Amino acid sequence: MTQNPVHKTFFLLRAHSKINYQFCKLISLAGKAWNQRHIEICRVFTTQSGRMNRLAKCKVIFEWALSLLVLCFVLSSPKIAVAADIGNCLLCHKYPGLSRIEGDKGIFRLLYVNEKTFNSSMHAKVKCEGCHTDIKKIPHDPAKKVDCLTQCHIIEPSSEQKFSHKDVAQFLENSVHGKLDETKQLKKFPEDRPTCKKCHDNPLYRPVSLNKTMMPGISDQSIGRCRVCHKKDEFIYRFYNHVTTRLRRSRNPKNITEVCIRCHDDINLVKRHGMSIKAVATYKESFHGKAAEFLDERIPDCLDCHVNRGESVHQMLSAKNTLSSTHENNKYKTCSNIECHPKATPRLAQFKVHAEFSKTQDPKRYYFESAFIILTGGTLLPLLGIMLLDSIRRLFPTLSRRRKK
Protein backbone atom coordinates (compact mmCIF):
# COMPACT_ATOMS: atom_id res chain seq x y z
CA MET A 1 0.00 0.00 0.00
CA THR A 2 1.40 3.41 -0.96
CA GLN A 3 1.69 6.10 1.66
CA ASN A 4 -0.86 8.88 1.43
CA PRO A 5 0.04 12.51 2.22
CA VAL A 6 -1.32 12.09 5.76
CA HIS A 7 1.25 9.41 6.50
CA LYS A 8 3.95 11.42 4.72
CA THR A 9 3.14 14.38 6.98
CA PHE A 10 3.41 12.07 10.00
CA PHE A 11 6.92 10.91 9.11
CA LEU A 12 7.96 14.45 8.22
CA LEU A 13 6.76 15.91 11.53
CA ARG A 14 8.22 13.11 13.69
CA ALA A 15 11.51 14.93 13.62
CA HIS A 16 9.96 18.26 14.57
CA SER A 17 11.24 19.21 18.06
CA LYS A 18 7.90 20.73 19.09
CA ILE A 19 5.61 17.78 18.43
CA ASN A 20 4.98 14.95 20.86
CA TYR A 21 4.30 11.30 20.25
CA GLN A 22 0.59 11.44 21.13
CA PHE A 23 -0.09 13.90 18.32
CA CYS A 24 2.01 11.84 15.89
CA LYS A 25 -0.09 8.84 16.78
CA LEU A 26 -3.28 10.82 16.12
CA ILE A 27 -2.03 11.75 12.64
CA SER A 28 -1.07 8.15 11.95
CA LEU A 29 -4.53 6.89 12.94
CA ALA A 30 -6.13 9.49 10.66
CA GLY A 31 -4.05 8.26 7.73
CA LYS A 32 -4.89 4.65 8.53
CA ALA A 33 -8.58 5.49 8.66
CA TRP A 34 -8.36 7.02 5.19
CA ASN A 35 -6.58 4.01 3.69
CA GLN A 36 -9.23 1.67 5.18
CA ARG A 37 -11.97 3.76 3.55
CA HIS A 38 -13.51 4.71 6.89
CA ILE A 39 -13.85 8.33 5.73
CA GLU A 40 -17.05 8.77 3.81
CA ILE A 41 -17.17 12.56 3.56
CA CYS A 42 -16.62 12.82 -0.19
CA ARG A 43 -19.21 10.25 -1.10
CA VAL A 44 -22.02 12.52 0.07
CA PHE A 45 -21.18 15.08 -2.59
CA THR A 46 -20.72 12.74 -5.53
CA THR A 47 -23.20 11.26 -7.99
CA GLN A 48 -23.29 7.66 -9.14
CA SER A 49 -22.23 8.54 -12.70
CA GLY A 50 -19.21 10.69 -11.90
CA ARG A 51 -18.33 8.95 -8.64
CA MET A 52 -14.73 7.85 -9.39
CA ASN A 53 -13.54 11.13 -10.90
CA ARG A 54 -15.05 13.37 -8.25
CA LEU A 55 -14.05 11.04 -5.44
CA ALA A 56 -10.43 11.09 -6.60
CA LYS A 57 -10.41 14.90 -6.71
CA CYS A 58 -12.09 15.14 -3.31
CA LYS A 59 -9.60 12.65 -1.86
CA VAL A 60 -6.62 14.72 -2.96
CA ILE A 61 -8.15 17.95 -1.66
CA PHE A 62 -8.98 16.36 1.69
CA GLU A 63 -5.51 14.85 2.13
CA TRP A 64 -3.69 18.11 1.45
CA ALA A 65 -6.13 20.11 3.59
CA LEU A 66 -5.57 17.74 6.51
CA SER A 67 -1.78 17.94 6.05
CA LEU A 68 -1.92 21.75 5.98
CA LEU A 69 -4.12 21.78 9.10
CA VAL A 70 -1.65 19.57 10.97
CA LEU A 71 1.28 21.76 9.95
CA CYS A 72 -0.48 24.94 11.08
CA PHE A 73 -1.34 23.34 14.43
CA VAL A 74 2.28 22.39 15.08
CA LEU A 75 3.75 25.75 14.12
CA SER A 76 1.20 27.68 16.18
CA SER A 77 1.74 25.63 19.37
CA PRO A 78 5.13 26.58 20.86
CA LYS A 79 4.38 25.01 24.26
CA ILE A 80 3.84 21.43 23.08
CA ALA A 81 6.18 18.95 24.82
CA VAL A 82 9.81 19.82 24.15
CA ALA A 83 11.20 16.35 24.77
CA ALA A 84 14.20 15.20 22.77
CA ASP A 85 12.20 12.17 21.63
CA ILE A 86 12.93 12.44 17.92
CA GLY A 87 13.02 8.65 17.60
CA ASN A 88 9.51 8.39 19.09
CA CYS A 89 10.83 6.18 21.92
CA LEU A 90 7.98 7.20 24.22
CA LEU A 91 5.54 5.39 21.97
CA CYS A 92 6.42 2.33 24.09
CA HIS A 93 8.27 3.74 27.10
CA LYS A 94 5.34 5.95 28.14
CA TYR A 95 3.57 3.02 29.81
CA PRO A 96 4.22 2.83 33.61
CA GLY A 97 4.04 -0.96 33.63
CA LEU A 98 6.76 -1.50 31.02
CA SER A 99 9.36 -3.68 32.75
CA ARG A 100 11.13 -7.02 32.64
CA ILE A 101 13.14 -9.46 34.74
CA GLU A 102 16.81 -9.76 33.77
CA GLY A 103 19.50 -12.35 34.40
CA ASP A 104 19.63 -15.45 36.53
CA LYS A 105 19.30 -13.38 39.71
CA GLY A 106 15.90 -12.14 38.61
CA ILE A 107 16.73 -8.42 38.68
CA PHE A 108 13.63 -6.28 38.13
CA ARG A 109 14.18 -3.47 35.63
CA LEU A 110 11.64 -0.70 35.08
CA LEU A 111 11.72 0.70 31.53
CA TYR A 112 9.07 3.39 32.01
CA VAL A 113 10.05 7.01 31.26
CA ASN A 114 7.95 9.83 32.69
CA GLU A 115 8.04 12.49 29.97
CA LYS A 116 7.13 15.42 32.24
CA THR A 117 9.80 14.47 34.78
CA PHE A 118 12.43 13.92 32.09
CA ASN A 119 11.72 17.33 30.56
CA SER A 120 12.42 18.89 33.98
CA SER A 121 15.79 17.16 34.29
CA MET A 122 19.29 18.26 33.33
CA HIS A 123 19.36 15.78 30.44
CA ALA A 124 16.14 17.04 28.86
CA LYS A 125 17.97 18.44 25.83
CA VAL A 126 19.87 15.21 25.18
CA LYS A 127 18.27 12.92 22.63
CA CYS A 128 17.61 9.32 23.60
CA GLU A 129 20.02 8.20 20.86
CA GLY A 130 22.69 10.47 22.38
CA CYS A 131 23.18 8.01 25.25
CA HIS A 132 21.74 4.81 23.78
CA THR A 133 24.02 4.86 20.76
CA ASP A 134 23.52 1.16 19.98
CA ILE A 135 19.81 1.54 19.22
CA LYS A 136 19.34 1.93 15.46
CA LYS A 137 15.88 0.48 14.88
CA ILE A 138 12.43 0.17 16.46
CA PRO A 139 11.58 -2.26 17.92
CA HIS A 140 15.16 -2.56 19.10
CA ASP A 141 17.27 -5.33 20.55
CA PRO A 142 18.15 -5.30 24.29
CA ALA A 143 20.01 -2.04 24.95
CA LYS A 144 23.64 -2.09 26.00
CA LYS A 145 24.92 -0.42 29.16
CA VAL A 146 25.18 3.36 28.72
CA ASP A 147 28.71 4.78 28.61
CA CYS A 148 28.70 8.16 30.39
CA LEU A 149 31.91 9.16 28.57
CA THR A 150 30.21 9.20 25.18
CA GLN A 151 30.35 12.56 23.43
CA CYS A 152 26.99 14.33 23.33
CA HIS A 153 25.59 16.26 20.38
CA ILE A 154 25.42 19.29 22.70
CA ILE A 155 28.12 21.91 22.08
CA GLU A 156 29.91 23.25 25.18
CA PRO A 157 29.70 27.07 24.70
CA SER A 158 33.10 28.08 26.13
CA SER A 159 35.13 25.60 24.06
CA GLU A 160 32.69 25.13 21.16
CA GLN A 161 33.40 21.40 21.33
CA LYS A 162 31.02 18.49 21.79
CA PHE A 163 30.35 17.92 25.46
CA SER A 164 31.79 14.90 27.24
CA HIS A 165 32.27 13.69 30.82
CA LYS A 166 35.83 12.52 30.16
CA ASP A 167 37.36 15.32 32.25
CA VAL A 168 35.10 14.40 35.15
CA ALA A 169 36.18 10.77 34.84
CA GLN A 170 39.82 11.87 35.03
CA PHE A 171 39.11 13.87 38.19
CA LEU A 172 37.49 10.80 39.72
CA GLU A 173 40.46 8.56 38.87
CA ASN A 174 42.84 10.96 40.63
CA SER A 175 40.65 11.25 43.72
CA VAL A 176 40.33 9.11 46.83
CA HIS A 177 37.54 7.22 45.05
CA GLY A 178 39.70 6.31 42.05
CA LYS A 179 40.75 2.74 41.26
CA LEU A 180 44.45 3.61 40.86
CA ASP A 181 46.89 4.75 43.54
CA GLU A 182 49.65 7.39 43.22
CA THR A 183 51.92 4.89 41.45
CA LYS A 184 49.14 4.08 38.95
CA GLN A 185 48.73 0.62 40.42
CA LEU A 186 45.33 -0.92 40.94
CA LYS A 187 44.04 -0.46 44.50
CA LYS A 188 42.64 -3.29 46.57
CA PHE A 189 39.01 -4.20 45.94
CA PRO A 190 38.58 -2.02 42.83
CA GLU A 191 35.02 -3.32 42.45
CA ASP A 192 34.09 -1.29 45.55
CA ARG A 193 35.03 2.00 43.92
CA PRO A 194 32.05 4.14 42.87
CA THR A 195 31.12 4.67 39.23
CA CYS A 196 29.05 7.49 37.74
CA LYS A 197 25.67 5.86 38.28
CA LYS A 198 26.54 4.75 41.79
CA CYS A 199 26.12 8.36 42.96
CA HIS A 200 24.25 10.02 40.11
CA ASP A 201 20.74 9.64 38.80
CA ASN A 202 19.05 12.08 36.40
CA PRO A 203 18.81 15.16 38.69
CA LEU A 204 15.91 17.54 38.30
CA TYR A 205 16.28 21.29 37.98
CA ARG A 206 15.90 23.24 41.21
CA PRO A 207 15.45 26.84 40.00
CA VAL A 208 15.66 29.64 42.52
CA SER A 209 14.30 33.19 42.50
CA LEU A 210 16.94 35.79 43.43
CA ASN A 211 15.04 38.99 42.67
CA LYS A 212 14.63 40.39 46.22
CA THR A 213 14.63 37.40 48.51
CA MET A 214 15.91 33.95 47.67
CA MET A 215 13.15 31.38 47.37
CA PRO A 216 12.57 28.27 45.28
CA GLY A 217 10.96 28.64 41.88
CA ILE A 218 11.26 30.82 38.78
CA SER A 219 11.37 34.60 39.07
CA ASP A 220 8.96 36.25 36.63
CA GLN A 221 10.87 39.51 36.94
CA SER A 222 14.10 37.82 35.86
CA ILE A 223 12.36 36.06 32.97
CA GLY A 224 11.07 39.44 31.83
CA ARG A 225 14.62 40.80 31.69
CA CYS A 226 15.72 37.77 29.68
CA ARG A 227 13.02 38.43 27.10
CA VAL A 228 14.55 41.83 26.31
CA CYS A 229 17.29 40.10 24.32
CA HIS A 230 16.23 36.46 23.95
CA LYS A 231 13.08 35.72 21.98
CA LYS A 232 12.45 32.00 22.42
CA ASP A 233 10.81 31.02 25.70
CA GLU A 234 12.08 27.46 25.36
CA PHE A 235 15.70 28.70 25.48
CA ILE A 236 14.96 31.24 28.24
CA TYR A 237 13.37 28.75 30.64
CA ARG A 238 15.97 26.05 29.99
CA PHE A 239 18.87 28.48 30.47
CA TYR A 240 17.31 30.00 33.61
CA ASN A 241 16.69 26.57 35.14
CA HIS A 242 20.23 25.45 34.39
CA VAL A 243 22.05 28.52 35.71
CA THR A 244 20.00 29.04 38.88
CA THR A 245 20.15 25.33 39.71
CA ARG A 246 23.93 25.43 39.46
CA LEU A 247 24.07 28.50 41.71
CA ARG A 248 22.90 26.32 44.58
CA ARG A 249 23.07 22.67 45.62
CA SER A 250 21.43 20.26 43.23
CA ARG A 251 20.48 18.26 46.35
CA ASN A 252 19.85 19.20 49.95
CA PRO A 253 22.28 18.04 52.69
CA LYS A 254 20.08 15.14 53.71
CA ASN A 255 19.97 13.79 50.13
CA ILE A 256 23.73 14.11 49.75
CA THR A 257 24.28 12.25 53.02
CA GLU A 258 21.96 9.50 51.84
CA VAL A 259 24.05 9.09 48.68
CA CYS A 260 27.27 8.72 50.72
CA ILE A 261 25.52 6.26 53.04
CA ARG A 262 25.15 3.79 50.19
CA CYS A 263 28.81 2.87 50.62
CA HIS A 264 29.94 4.33 53.95
CA ASP A 265 27.18 2.61 55.89
CA ASP A 266 28.04 -0.78 54.40
CA ILE A 267 29.90 -2.47 57.29
CA ASN A 268 31.58 -5.11 55.13
CA LEU A 269 32.78 -2.54 52.62
CA VAL A 270 34.25 -0.08 55.13
CA LYS A 271 35.98 -2.90 57.03
CA ARG A 272 37.66 -4.10 53.84
CA HIS A 273 39.15 -0.63 53.37
CA GLY A 274 40.05 -0.03 57.00
CA MET A 275 37.63 2.86 57.48
CA SER A 276 35.46 3.74 60.44
CA ILE A 277 32.17 1.92 60.61
CA LYS A 278 30.58 4.80 62.54
CA ALA A 279 31.28 7.72 60.23
CA VAL A 280 27.62 8.02 59.25
CA ALA A 281 26.30 7.58 62.79
CA THR A 282 28.68 10.17 64.25
CA TYR A 283 27.66 12.74 61.61
CA LYS A 284 23.98 12.17 62.35
CA GLU A 285 24.64 12.65 66.08
CA SER A 286 26.34 16.01 65.47
CA PHE A 287 24.57 19.36 65.23
CA HIS A 288 25.14 19.37 61.47
CA GLY A 289 23.54 15.97 61.00
CA LYS A 290 20.52 16.71 63.19
CA ALA A 291 19.83 19.98 61.35
CA ALA A 292 20.17 18.20 58.00
CA GLU A 293 17.43 15.79 59.07
CA PHE A 294 15.12 18.82 59.27
CA LEU A 295 16.06 19.75 55.66
CA ASP A 296 17.99 22.88 56.64
CA GLU A 297 19.99 23.70 53.50
CA ARG A 298 22.35 26.06 55.34
CA ILE A 299 23.97 23.12 57.09
CA PRO A 300 27.23 21.66 55.70
CA ASP A 301 27.07 18.17 54.27
CA CYS A 302 29.77 15.63 53.41
CA LEU A 303 30.89 17.48 50.28
CA ASP A 304 31.21 20.87 52.00
CA CYS A 305 33.88 19.52 54.35
CA HIS A 306 35.61 16.87 52.25
CA VAL A 307 36.07 18.88 49.03
CA ASN A 308 38.31 21.93 48.62
CA ARG A 309 36.48 25.18 47.97
CA GLY A 310 36.09 25.95 44.28
CA GLU A 311 36.93 22.43 43.12
CA SER A 312 34.75 19.71 41.65
CA VAL A 313 33.23 17.22 44.07
CA HIS A 314 34.96 14.55 41.98
CA GLN A 315 38.36 15.84 43.19
CA MET A 316 37.96 14.64 46.78
CA LEU A 317 41.30 13.70 48.37
CA SER A 318 42.29 11.46 51.25
CA ALA A 319 42.66 13.05 54.68
CA LYS A 320 46.32 11.97 54.59
CA ASN A 321 46.97 14.12 51.51
CA THR A 322 48.45 17.50 52.47
CA LEU A 323 46.23 19.18 49.85
CA SER A 324 43.06 17.71 51.29
CA SER A 325 40.49 19.95 52.96
CA THR A 326 40.32 17.51 55.90
CA HIS A 327 44.08 17.32 56.50
CA GLU A 328 45.13 18.37 60.02
CA ASN A 329 46.78 21.54 58.66
CA ASN A 330 43.77 22.56 56.57
CA LYS A 331 40.80 21.78 58.80
CA TYR A 332 40.43 25.24 60.27
CA LYS A 333 40.60 26.77 56.77
CA THR A 334 37.72 24.57 55.72
CA CYS A 335 35.62 25.54 58.73
CA SER A 336 36.50 29.24 58.58
CA ASN A 337 35.01 29.96 55.16
CA ILE A 338 32.60 32.87 55.08
CA GLU A 339 29.49 30.65 54.92
CA CYS A 340 30.31 28.64 58.07
CA HIS A 341 32.61 29.88 60.87
CA PRO A 342 34.48 32.92 59.47
CA LYS A 343 36.18 33.65 62.82
CA ALA A 344 37.43 30.10 63.36
CA THR A 345 41.01 29.63 64.58
CA PRO A 346 43.34 26.63 64.28
CA ARG A 347 42.02 25.44 67.67
CA LEU A 348 38.75 24.55 65.95
CA ALA A 349 40.61 21.84 64.06
CA GLN A 350 41.02 19.95 67.33
CA PHE A 351 37.29 19.26 67.34
CA LYS A 352 36.51 15.91 65.73
CA VAL A 353 33.23 15.81 63.86
CA HIS A 354 33.34 12.02 63.56
CA ALA A 355 34.56 11.41 67.11
CA GLU A 356 33.52 8.01 68.43
CA PHE A 357 32.92 6.87 71.99
CA SER A 358 36.25 5.09 72.05
CA LYS A 359 38.93 4.90 74.74
CA THR A 360 41.71 4.50 72.17
CA GLN A 361 40.60 7.19 69.69
CA ASP A 362 39.79 9.99 72.14
CA PRO A 363 40.45 9.07 75.83
CA LYS A 364 39.56 12.55 77.16
CA ARG A 365 36.15 12.51 75.57
CA TYR A 366 35.64 8.87 76.59
CA TYR A 367 36.26 9.54 80.32
CA PHE A 368 34.29 12.79 80.27
CA GLU A 369 31.22 11.15 78.68
CA SER A 370 31.52 8.15 81.01
CA ALA A 371 31.57 10.45 84.05
CA PHE A 372 28.60 12.39 82.71
CA ILE A 373 26.62 9.16 82.16
CA ILE A 374 27.39 7.97 85.73
CA LEU A 375 26.50 11.36 87.21
CA THR A 376 23.24 11.55 85.25
CA GLY A 377 22.25 7.99 86.13
CA GLY A 378 23.25 8.41 89.78
CA THR A 379 21.03 11.48 90.03
CA LEU A 380 17.98 10.42 88.08
CA LEU A 381 17.64 6.76 89.09
CA PRO A 382 17.19 7.42 92.87
CA LEU A 383 14.77 10.24 92.05
CA LEU A 384 12.73 7.93 89.81
CA GLY A 385 12.71 5.30 92.56
CA ILE A 386 11.32 7.78 95.10
CA MET A 387 8.65 8.92 92.63
CA LEU A 388 7.64 5.32 91.95
CA LEU A 389 7.28 4.52 95.68
CA ASP A 390 5.28 7.71 96.22
CA SER A 391 2.93 6.81 93.35
CA ILE A 392 2.33 3.34 94.80
CA ARG A 393 1.54 4.85 98.20
CA ARG A 394 -0.99 7.23 96.65
CA LEU A 395 -2.68 4.50 94.60
CA PHE A 396 -2.84 2.01 97.45
CA PRO A 397 -3.07 4.03 100.68
CA THR A 398 -4.12 1.03 102.79
CA LEU A 399 -1.34 -1.17 101.54
CA SER A 400 1.05 -2.17 104.34
CA ARG A 401 3.66 -4.83 104.91
CA ARG A 402 2.78 -4.99 108.68
CA ARG A 403 0.83 -8.05 109.80
CA LYS A 404 -2.53 -7.52 111.40
CA LYS A 405 -2.67 -8.59 115.11
User: Is 50 exceeded by the pLDDT of residue 79?
Assistant: no
Residue 17: inside a domain, yes or no?
Answer: yes
* pTM, full prediction: 0.62
pLDDT of residue 12: 44
How far is Cα 196 from Cα 190, in angstroms, rounded to an integer? 14
How far is Cα 392 from Cα 189, in angstroms, rounded to an integer? 62
Sign of the four-CA dihedral 213, 258, 109, 165: positive
pLDDT of residue 348: 78
How far is Cα 63 from Cα 397, in angstroms, rounded to an integer? 99
Give buried/exposed letters for 311-323 (b at 16+ CB in 10 A, else e). eebbbbbeeeeee
User: Is 50 exceeded by the pLDDT of residue 123?
Assistant: yes
Q: How far apart are the first and last CA of the chain?
A: 115
Q: Which residue has the higher pLDDT, 374 or 349?
A: 374
Q: Pinpoint the alpha helices (H) of 340-362.
A: none
How far is Cα 157 from Cα 367, in angstroms, rounded to an integer? 59
CA distances from 92 to 24, 115, 380 (A): 13, 12, 66
pLDDT of residue 316: 93
User: Is 80 exceeded by the pLDDT of residue 40?
Assistant: no
Task: Convert the pLDDT of each residue in 294-326 to its tens digit.
Answer: 988 888 899 999 999 889 899 999 988 999 999
Residue 43: inside a domain, yes or no?
Answer: yes
CA angle, 134 as apex, 130 and 140 as ends, to 5°? Answer: 110
pLDDT of residue 158: 79
Residue 236: inside a domain, yes or no?
Answer: no
The confidence band for 175, taking pLDDT boundaries of 50, 70 and 90, is: very high
Arithmetic mean of pLDDT, 343-359: 80
Residue 210: inside a domain, yes or no?
Answer: no
How far is Cα 32 from Cα 278, in angstroms, rounded to an integer? 65
CA distances from 172 to 179, 196, 217, 312 (A): 9, 9, 32, 10
Q: How many separate domains does the chain show?
A: 1
User: Is 50 exceeded by the pLDDT of residue 246?
Assistant: yes
Residue 63: inside a domain, yes or no?
Answer: yes
User: Is 90 exceeded by the pLDDT of residue 383?
Assistant: yes
pLDDT of residue 75: 52
Arithmetic mean of pLDDT, 348-365: 79
Residue 11: inside a domain, yes or no?
Answer: yes
Residue 166: inside a domain, yes or no?
Answer: no
Residue 44: inside a domain, yes or no?
Answer: yes
Task: Convert the pLDDT of each residue in 184-219 to its tens digit.
Answer: 889 989 999 998 888 888 778 888 887 667 777 888
pLDDT of residue 39: 43
The parent domain of residue 71 ranges over: 5-75
